[in-house]
């Protein structure tokens, strides 16, 4: 494994939040183990604590106009102490926004994270778009693809609002919220963390006109949150300038085939 540290210069950052960086690193260890184990024969992790399946966090219209119930699975540590709060990691599955994508594909990652002391959550988000008939997603309808990404961003944010609203019930420490995602899921967590309504109107005007503001879908909750760290496996942002001092989030980027991590740290100019 190689780790490359990329330092981003920002004007408003006084220093690096090393405590957030440390916790972010700890949450990445089980993710890396699970990803790297795909090249070896590793037994599937077994449930280590209470698991809440198909918890509804809202509902919305899918790309074909059908109303769908949006659900999440919540994995909890086996040694939870009554009254104690635990850091949250929410993971989004990949799948090129195709209807085949499902939260259950992230079960192994969530089991490992729960075993490491996290409340681990994976969600179903709205998928589907007008991709090409030959199976090449790059040859599909880009407007439809932007709609799919935007819907998923709305769903991810709605899921976070729901979890924060249920922090006491699920023993979540809202001061330590992390996101991870693979492929399409990585695109979603990066965009939802850095894109605001103003930028969305400029970048995705048709999607905004059709689907409304980022935080106006799926449920009516108004809870707020701050993201401490991101692990993006093969994901990207449309504009690197979105990473600035206004959103100082520690990031790890992982390219699976090359077994290489990129650690992004914000530093003062």
164-220 per-position pLDDT tens digit: 999 999 999 999 999 998 888 889 999 999 899 999 999 999 999 999 999 999 999
- Alpha-carbon distance 243 to 231, whole Å? 15
Q: What whole-number distance in Å separates Cα of residue 123 and Cα of residue 91?
A: 7
The residues near 197 (Cβ < 8 Å, ≥ 6 apart) are 208, 213, 214
Q: What is the reported pLDDT for 100?
A: 77
Backbone phi, then psi, for 54, in 5-degree steps? Answer: 55, 45
Sign of CA dihedral 188, 192, 194, 200: positive
Query: Phi/psi at 116 (nearest 5 deg)?
Result: -95, 5
For position 15, what pLDDT does the model report? 43
Per CATH, domain 2-7+14-268 is 3.30.200? no
Closest by alpha carbon to 101, among 135, 75, 69, 126?
A: 126
As averages over each run of 10 residues, the pLDDT of the chain (269 residues) reads 39 44 49 45 60 95 93 92 92 85 84 89 90 62 86 96 97 94 89 92 94 94 92 79 73 54 41
Helices (H), the chain: 18-36, 107-115, 142-165, 167-170, 184-194, 197-203, 205-211
Q: How far is CA 126 from the centre of its chain?
A: 14
Q: How confident is the model at residue 35, as a pLDDT?
A: 47
Q: How many CB atoms lie within 10 A of CB 12?
A: 11
Q: How many CA atoms lie within 13 A of 232 on its CB side?
A: 22
pTM, entire model: 0.79
pLDDT of residue 143: 83
């Amino acid at each position: 494994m190689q780790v490359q540290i990329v330092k981003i210069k920002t004007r408003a950052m006084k220093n690096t939040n090393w405590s957030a960086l440390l916790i972010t690193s700890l949450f990445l260890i089980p993710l890396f183990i699970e990803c790297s184990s795909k090249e070896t024969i590793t037994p599937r992790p077994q449930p280590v604590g209470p698991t809440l399946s198909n918890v509804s966090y809202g509902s919305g219209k899918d790309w074909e106009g059908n109303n769908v119930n949006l659900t999440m699975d919540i994995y909890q540590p086996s040694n939870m102490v009554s009254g104690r709060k635990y850091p949250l990691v929410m993971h989004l599955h990949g799948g090129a926004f195709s209807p085949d994508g499902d939260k259950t594909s992230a079960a192994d990652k969530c089991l490992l994270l729960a075993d490491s002391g996290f409340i681990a959550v994976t969600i179903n988000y709205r998928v589907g778009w007008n991709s090409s008939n030959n199976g090449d997603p790059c040859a599909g309808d880009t407007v439809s693809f932007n709609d799919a990404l935007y819907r998923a961003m709305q769903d991810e944010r709605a899921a976070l609002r729901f979890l924060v609203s249920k922090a006491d019930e699920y023993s979540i420490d809202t001061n330590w919220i992390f996101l991870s995602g693979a492929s399409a899921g990585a695109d979603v967590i990066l965009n939802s963390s850095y894109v605001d309504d103003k930028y969305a109107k400029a970048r995705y005007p048709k999607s905004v006109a059709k689907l409304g503001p980022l935080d106006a879908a799926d449920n009516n909750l108004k809870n707020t949150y701050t993201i401490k760290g991101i692990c993006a496996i093969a994901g990207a942002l449309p504009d690197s300038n979105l990473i600035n001092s206004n959103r100082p989030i520690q990031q790890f980027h992982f390219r699976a085939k090359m077994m290489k991590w990129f650690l992004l740290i914000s530093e003062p100019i």
